Every structure is written in C-alpha cells, then in structure tokens.
Structure 1
C-alpha cells in the first residue's frame, strides 16, 4: 500500500442547513497534512454531517472548505476521490453475513473497479490478483488487524468480530484506496476505555504514515487538532489549543445550531436529483463484483476533466435537500 502525503484541511464559516434547521455553521479550521483531527461535541450537534461535508459526501450551505487543493462545495467529486470513509454507521456498514476474507476481497474489487487507473485493468489477471493481495496485506498491517488472532482466521464472519476488530477491519478496507484523508465516525460507541486508547493509538500511527485523519468523538485526546461542534455555553469563542508535538496553533471555531432543541436525525437524505452524494457502498457491491473483470472507466489521475463537470453535478437540486445527521 502506498503512503500518500496527507491532505491539508481548511474551513472558513463552514455551514450546512437541512430541512430541520442548521446541522452546523460557523466552522473554522486550519490543519496541516498528516494531522489527527478530532471532531468533538455532544449528540445532535451535526458531527456526522460535518464529517460527510468535509469528505465531499454532503453539500454545504454556506462558507467554504479546502481539502488538499480542492475547494468545497465546488469540487466535491475531487474530494471524494482522495477522502475515504472508515466506519460510519448507517453509511458504509460492514456486511455481517460475509467472512473477513470476503469483505476484504470485496473492498479490493470495489477499489479496482472504481478507483484504480484504467491502465491497471489491462494487466494480466494473475498480476492483478497478486497486487490486490499485497494491498490487502499492507492495509491489514496499517490497521493492526492480525487475521491469525481471529476465532476462525480469515473465515471468521463479520458478525462474530468484536467492536475493536470491526473498526480495524473498516479502517483496513478504507486504506486499500491509499486515501489522503481518512474519516471515521462514533469512535466512542461500544468501546471500553482501554479499547478507545488503542483506537487513538491506531489513528496516530496512520497519521504518522502521512494520511490526514478526521475522527468524530465525544472526548478528544490532548494531542489532536480539536474541532468542536455545538452551542457555546459561555457565549465566547474558545481558546485555540496547540496539540502536543504539533507545530503552530490551529484555528478552532465552535459550530452552532440555529434552532435550540432541534435534534439532528441520523439518516441522510438525497435531493430530488440524487446529488447529495452520501456514499453507500452496500448498494454498489453486487454490481461491482459482477463487473469487476470487465474494463471500466476509472479515474486516470487527471482532475481537470472531473473538476470541470463538478459545477454542473454538484450545484443541482434544492438548497434544503441535505438532512442533518448528528449522533451521540
């Protein structure tokens, strides 16, 4: 697996409004490539919406952000190509009926079918299989998942995995595409304090490899660049705190909700034309597996053609077509 240079993440007055009010607004951030960014806040403050917006899956309503050299909301498609989702419940859940080996092979097929350069599809089948096996092995190593320690090895079904093992598997699948930004949601759910410490250690190691990490949590570690969501209790902006070992002080701004008491829904909705680009891998799996051996048009690394179409693709639909997705 490659070790790509991480994407810088910047935002200014970033906000998203759905049918039930503002999911978040007034977000400001300036994080260097390879940073560990923690989105911290209570339930119902638009944390998941913010994660999806910063990865090009939901269209913001106001302000702008830059992921690498791609500016949001104009370049959503380009951002989706360099930003991968780790575990995001309700969006890219693992298939509980598959074995770990099957889930990994499926992830490799999807990556080859949709994300690999088209020239790679012209290689001999044996070479493609060897390359996929090498990428899977490297991704498992980066995610800290040793298949030999599982109850039935690679034949263990996903439903039999512990929560921490499932997180590592999701991270490994996300890393198959060598993303520049890795995003994860709800790191606090169903993890003990010890397991939570292990997850943050994993994310630090991934950031140390050069991948920028964006993680939603209830309580951020001291060494992360912290992005807080939710209303300010003291009426004033918080002080920006320099994470341990980081150079420079990040700009940190609170996100606020316009409607007090309006709880954000977990679900995300597409607009009438389907341009709220929330990634749902499960809907593509069967088609990808069936077509995996057929030549397919894929990203050739040239952003100019795709970016020229983003103005048309990402500006359609009603302004309020995006729904809120705040979670615990």
Structure 2
C-alpha cells in the first residue's frame, strides 16, 4: 500500500449528540492527524457507536463542533460520508451470513465500479474494468490480512462459517475497497480472545501507518501503543442548575474529566465526553440509512439503568436495540 498519508484529520470540540430522551454523548474533545489510530473506549451503552456514526456523517450532532478532513459537521455530512467508510457496524454495515466471502467481495467491487468511480472509468473496456476491480479487492484483502486460501472453502466459504476475527477482517476489507480517508470500525474487540484482539489491533495499526485514518470502537484500547489517540465515553452524574431546573448538567468536582496525553504524532487524546448520561438521547437512524436527525429532549434521568436504556434508544433504528 501507498505509505503516503492520505487519511483525514479529525477534530472535535464540545461535540455532542442529543435525541428525544436526552444526550447520547457530549463534551467530546480530541485532535487526530491524518493516518491516526483513534480508539473510542467505553462500556456498552455509553454512546460509542453514536459517536462513530456522528463523526462519519451518519448522525446529526447537536452541540459543539467537529471536522473530518477539513469538512465541518454537521453542515457537510454528505461530503463526510463520501470520504468515510463503515465496517462491522451491526444493523448498519454488517455481513450477510447467507452469502459467501466471494459474493460479498464481488458485490462490493461491482458497487464501487458502478458508483464509486469516474465516468471515464465506466467507459473503459470490460477487461480493464475487471482487472481494476480485482486489483482493488486484492489490495483490500492484503491490507485487512485476510488470506482466502486459509478459509475452510476458500472464497466460497459462507460468512456464517467464518471465525470472529476472519469476519472482522472481511468487513474491513469490504470497506477499504472504496478507498476511504477515514475507516470507522465498531465493536473491534467484541468476543475476541487476547491473541485475536492483538491481531485485530495490529491490522488496524497497519492501516493507519499506511495512511488511512482509523476510528475504532472498543472495550479496551491496545496496550503499549503510544500512537493511539484515545477517546473515552462513559457516564457521569447529573446535577441540577442553580435555579433547580432538572436536566441541566454541570461539572461535578469529585468526578474529574479524563484527558489523554499527546501522542508521538502530535495528536491529542480526548477529554471524556459526558456520554451515556442519564436517559441518553435517541436520535433516529443514521444518515443514509433512512433515519431522521435527532431532536432535543427535556430532563434526562440520572440512574444507571436509564444510561443503558438511553443508549439502546439512541440506536433503536439502526437495528441494534
């Protein structure tokens, strides 16, 4: 792969997303340069996936500012979607267990050739188009570390027969076929063994080194990797306003915000957004998948049970609830 960084720089300041029942996440602050590996860490239900979808232009933010490759959000959501790709996002970008690996690859290459290229490319002879498609697929598979020869039935292996790490690699490869500047991966380490988790992070780190900015949702970030930009989501207590109005959050002195150090690329980690608060917001489904943008809410609740309910509500129309 080309080692020249072509990834998108990502910045966020006071970034937040709110829906009918409150905040999905808020006060997210970080800066990451092109070709960074960004790890979004937090417990399930803390707004991690909502943050991933908002930063890729699939959900509309409600507070703060963010930019991807110089494109401001939410004003340029469509443009951001054109330079980003999703992988392994349940209900939004997931594999069909009824299809084979080869069918997935052919379908994605066909869509890329039909809608992702220029008019000049469409007018090339069929043989040239096929050769270009094969090259795209081979490059993506190599970058994702998926060797078709090691699969039980090679390219004819059904998705349902893939191991979890193999399925993750395939999902990443499919996303890479479009040549995104930012690759967003959900549930990176879900139900992986320690060795599989290490292999997954090695793959994503390699993509970042090769120039693609990677945004990966995880339960635990990779250990001992100083180049990772860490963004944490999680719940913090609500407080009432001086006037006693419920649902007006203030800083809690005995719960400090989490701020990460600057990495070797000069990028800055995140200060914990107050994601997953109260009855977290339920924006509708992600942009480009039939969902509408979220709308503001009134007083969020404050107990832990409502934290989880709010996160489920925020993703209800993505098929994850």
Residues 247-266 of structure 1: pairs in structure 2 closer than 5 A: 247-248=265-266, 250-257=268-275, 259-260=277-278, 262=279
1:20 maps to which residue?
A: 21
Aligned 8 A contact 2:28 2:271 in 1: yes
CA contact (8 A) 1:23 1:325 kept: no
Q: CA deviation at 1:325?
A: 3.0
Contact persistence 1:55–1:183 (CA under 8 A): yes
Whether the aligned pair in 2 keeps the contact of 1:228 and 1:254 (CA below 8 Å) is yes
Call closer, same or farther: CA 1:61–1:91 in 2, change over 3 Å: same
Question: Residues of 1 paired with 2:113 and 2:173: CA distance?
Answer: 15
Confirm or deny: 8 A CA contact 2:145 2:169 kept in the other structure.
yes
Deviations 1:250-301 (A, max 9, x none): 04211114743x3677xx734xxxxx51548xxxxxxxxxxxxxxxxxxxxx
Contact 1:15 1:27 in 2 (8 A): yes
How far apart, in 2, do the equivalents of 1:242 and 1:195 lie? 28
Q: CA RMSD in A?
A: 2.6
Q: CA deviation at 1:45?
A: 1.0
8 A Cα contact 1:58 1:278, kept in partner: no
User: Unaligned 5+ residue runs, structure 2?
Assistant: 238-253, 298-310
Aligned to 2:284: 269
What does residue range 150-299 of structure 1 map to in structure 2 within 5 Å? 150-221=151-222, 222-223=224-225, 224-232=228-236, 234-243=254-263, 246-248=264-266, 250-257=268-275, 259-260=277-278, 262=279, 269-270=284-285, 276-279=286-289
In 2: Cα distance, 1:92 partner to 1:85 partner = 6
Tell me the number of residue pairs that the alignment of Structure 1 and Structure 2 aligns.
284
**Contact 1:2 1:178 (C-alpha < 8 Å) held by counterparts:** no
1:230–1:19 distance in 2 versus 1, CA, 3 Å: same
Question: Which residue in the other structure is 2:314 paired with?
Answer: 324
Deviation of 1:101 after TM superposition, in Å, equals: 0.8
User: Distance in 1 between the 2:206 and 2:294 partners?
Assistant: 41
TM-score by length of 2: 0.82
Task: Tell me by how many angstroms 1:249 deviates.
Answer: 5.1
Distance 1:6 1:249, change over 3 A: closer
**TM-score computed with the length of structure 1 as normaliser:** 0.80
Which residue in 1 is equivalent to 2:241?
Answer: none
1:165, CA displacement in angstroms? 0.4
Ranges in structure 1 where 5+ consecutive residues have no aligned partner? 271-275, 281-313
Report SS of the residue matched to 1:269.
coil
User: Which residue number in structure 1 is paired with residue 75 of structure 2?
Assistant: 74
Measure, in 2, the Cα distance between the counterparts of 1:255 and 1:238: 9
Q: Is the 8 A contact 1:7 1:34 kept in 2?
A: yes
Measure the CA separation in 1 of the matches of 2:293 and 2:200: 38
1:24 touches 1:46 (CA, 8 Å); kept in 2? yes
CA contact (8 A) 1:21 1:258 kept: no
Instruction: Report if the CA contact (8 A) 1:237-1:254 is conserved.
Output: yes
Equivalent residues in 2 for 1:9-158, closer than 5 Å: 9-158=10-159
The Cα offsets for residues 89-131 of structure 1, whole Å up to 9 and x where unpaired, read as 1211111111111110101112222221222111111111111
